[in-house]
Amino acid sequence: MSERFLASEDERLTGLREACGAAEREREMVQMLRRAGYAVRR
C-alpha cells in the first residue's frame, strides 16, 4: 500500500464523516423549527 493511497483513503473517510455531521445538524435544525411551529417541507 502506498502512502498516497492511504492519504486519499483517509481524506475520503474524513469527507464522509463531515457529510454525516452536516446531515445530522440539518436534522436537528429541522426538528427545532418544527417545535417552533414552522411547517418544514422536504
For the entire predicted model, the pTM comes to 0.49
- Give me the pLDDT at residue 27, please: 92
Contacts of 40 (CB under 8 A, 6+ apart): 30, 33, 34
- Give me the pLDDT at residue 9, please: 84
- Give me the pLDDT at residue 19, please: 86
Amino acid at 1: M
Each residue's pLDDT tens digit, 1-41: 567 776 788 888 888 888 888 889 999 998 998 889 876 66
- Report DSSP letters for 13-34, one per residue: HHHHHHHHHHHHHHHHHHHHHH
Number of domains in the chain: 1
Domain that holds residue 8: 1-42
Cell numbers found for residue 3: 502512502
